[in-house]
Chain A
Amino acid sequence: MKRRDFLKGVAVAGAAGVVGFPGIWTQRKAAWAANGEIPVGILFSLTGAVAVVERTLHDAALMAIEEINDNGGIHGMRLRPYIEDPASDPATYADRARRLVLRDNCISVFGSYTSASRQAVLPVVEGRDNLYWYPTLYEGRECSRNVMYGGAVPNQQQQEFVPWLAENFGGRFYLIGNNYVYPREENNVCKMILNQIGGEAVHEEYVPMGHSDFSSVINRIRQANPDVIFCTLVGDSDVAFQRQFHAAGFDPEQLPVASLTRSEVEVKAMGGEAAAGHFSSAPYFMAHDSPENARFVEAYQRKYGSDQVTHFVSEAAYFQIYQFKAAVEQLAPSDITATNIRAAAVGQTFMAPQGEILIDENLHTHLWPKVAQWDRSGQAKVVLESQQRIAPEPYWAYEGQRCTGEGLVTS
């Protein structure tokens, strides 16, 4: 090829590029509106270690999307879910989130169960000023303007639970959790409350993730002879601990296990008998009595099978889609961007299965904490219900720091 022909060719190709792919020159902010669809990302693991839980979140979120679409969508536009499987690996979460935001043009992504995966996605959504809807309870101490936090933070789970436990069973707590950030932060908050009300933590210990032999822990519990076991073990460790604790012959009336993380999923795996008589604190339980919850449970079991359970994270995965819908409904079709959705979402209320919830300006959610006691059937009976909706304070245990509508404020 001659040099002249080559240059001509490049020029022609370049011109064709400019004319043919205008998309690369313009920000396609509203391209999704063209075919009457609103693209949203669904980023829950269907494979790998956390798939056990995330599969149920995935199901609950998709059910909400289907319900909304069946009822006419949002202003006639349908929600179009783009589903990715991040395979329980934080790096893959970041990669798939990038794909959803950049390639699929999603204006919001719903996903994650673990804090590690949320933190992996943070730089992606913050960099593109997108919104990540995170349904799980977590340890607080985060204040991103690009994450909508649907789960409880420590003050919402503990500020009524711990004093109630101390009053009914005594103030000597044995703290046990898996060794990572969530149990440590929750236990800090617990110790703070115990200090205020005159209780004490007789022992605090952390076992590795996935730890499954608790005979030494149980021996230590026997020696320490506490009033309450304050448990932040997660998943398989929680199941193994409870089964072995029950087999060791402890009486829940004398020594109850008070968990922040145990839901219907874990109880189903450990068997109702092992869990019976022990307590959990969460904003939602499957047996909670409300018309919204009856509808939610009925629809969920009809769609996914009558042996399926709903739990406090899948409830949030479900209502967050409705919160998203309520926010988008406020906007004219041409205004639908992630930042406008965020602005419209603040202050929205929604009748969720747990009660009427509200999005705070710090993007966390005002919730209705409950304490429930498990029974042999694997369901929890709510024994203490918060009198009022409790505001989220992600920096409750950290004096001088507050998460506000402007982000983190340090005084």
Chain B
Amino acid sequence: MDAFLNQAFAGLSMASILLMVALGLAIIYGAMGVINLAHGEFVMLGAYSAWLLQTSLGLGILVALPIVFLMVALVGLLVERGVVRWLYHRPLDTILATWGVAILLQQLVRSVIGSESRYVAGPTILDGNLVLGGVVMSNYRIFLIFFSLAVVAATWFLLKRSEFGTKLRAVIQNKEISECYGIRADRVYALAFAYGAGLAGMAGALITPLVSVTPSMGTYLVVDAFLVVIVGGVGSLLGTVAAAGMVGEATAMFSMLMNDTIGRIAVLLAIIFLIRFKPMGLFPDKVRR
């Protein structure tokens, strides 16, 4: 039983990381239909921003989070203004263009900062483990789970309750008509893209105590994030949360029953089946376009 609970917690922890990475992607992909292959690189930039703030200014990652968010959001804004906005009507080209941006960012970090992996210290107040019976839970991972849920709540509020969110939803439903009502769709898109990028950057900063910070770290993460978005259904916040939870727990359970390699294959197979029967994902967007 302990083994099962430990594994369930591991799954929850994986889900929280997936959720933070996927949330930004869900907004960019869901709102704008842009398949952003540079998303992993935003995560990587977030990790490097955290490293930079820690080594140069001595800021811990928790204190640095808002700054990291702004830094990466700014990069996202530049990418949107410089590249993506010219390609809204050419979805296939955005894939190619963002892929190119990804390579560019990766190589830029490699040439400017160097290719060796960097060390970022975790927050010391979250060291240690919470032990309940036979279940051992790392404090930092518990924090990540709650933090990711808080980010979802903030995003939900932003989309459903704020003026910006109302405009964004209007633009998603019908760009031309909302422009007639005086909404500057261009600006809404740019801000949404920047917000998505900023979320990715924050996710990057938060995973630094668990992984190795290298220029190519985003490549692995973005694949999982796409899986989550596709399973959840494009454009659905609830779907993204549910899908992150499912993919995380499924990975943990399969890898308990078999091992991590086969567990991963099993998860991918399960997703293929799911997509076969629910091609729009679990919570498809009901908006008519």
Contacts and interface: CB of A to CB of B under 8 A. Distances in A.
Interface of A: 47-49, 51-52, 55-56, 179, 205-208, 210-213, 215-220, 222-223, 235-236, 239-240, 243-244, 247-249, 265-266, 268-271
Interface in B1-40: 3, 6-7, 9-10, 13-14, 17
Given A205-B260, A269-B116, 6 more contacts: A208-B260, A212-B212, A215-B141, A223-B3, A235-B212, A269-B117
B284 interface: no
A236 B122 CA distance: 17
A342 to B, nearest CB: 33
Contacts of A265: 116-117
Given A49-B216, A244-B210, A269-B212, A213 B117 contact: no
B129 A51 contact: no
Given A236-B217, A270-B212, A271-B121, A248 B260 contact: no
7 contacts: A47-B107, A55-B116, A215-B141, A219-B3, A219-B7, A223-B3, A266-B117
Contacts, number: 113
A223 B17 CA distance: 25
Interface stretch (B79-87, B192-200, B234-242, B251-259): B251-259
Contacts of B264: 208
Give the interface residue-count category, chain B. Answer: 35 or more
Given A49-B216, A215-B14, A247 B261 contact: no
Max chain B CB contacts within 10 Å: which of A212, A247, A265, A268?
A247
Interface in B188-221: 209-214, 216-217, 219-220
A244 B212 CA distance: 11
Contacts of A236: 117, 211-212, 214, 217
Contacts of A215: 9-10, 13-14, 141, 252
Closest 9 CB pairs of A and B: A215-B10, A239-B212, A269-B117, A236-B212, A207-B260, A216-B255, A219-B6, A51-B115, A240-B211
A222 B7 CA distance: 11
A394 B214 CA distance: 33
Contacts of A243: 209-212
B99 interface: no
A210 B220 contact: yes
Chain A interface helix/strand/loop/mixed: helix
A223 B6 CA distance: 10
B136 to A, nearest CB: 7
Nearest to A212: B211
Contacts of B255: 216
B91 interface: no
A217 B260 contact: yes
Nearest to B252: A216
Given A216-B252, A248-B129, A269-B119, A240 B210 contact: yes
B7 to A, nearest CB: 6
B286 to A, nearest CB: 34
A208 B223 CA distance: 14
Contacts of B100: none
B127 A268 contact: no
Contacts of A235: 117, 212
A59 B117 CA distance: 17
B110 interface: yes
B6 A222 contact: yes
A23 B39 CA distance: 52
Given A247-B138, A248-B138, A265-B116, A212 B10 contact: no
B140 A247 contact: yes
A219 B256 contact: yes
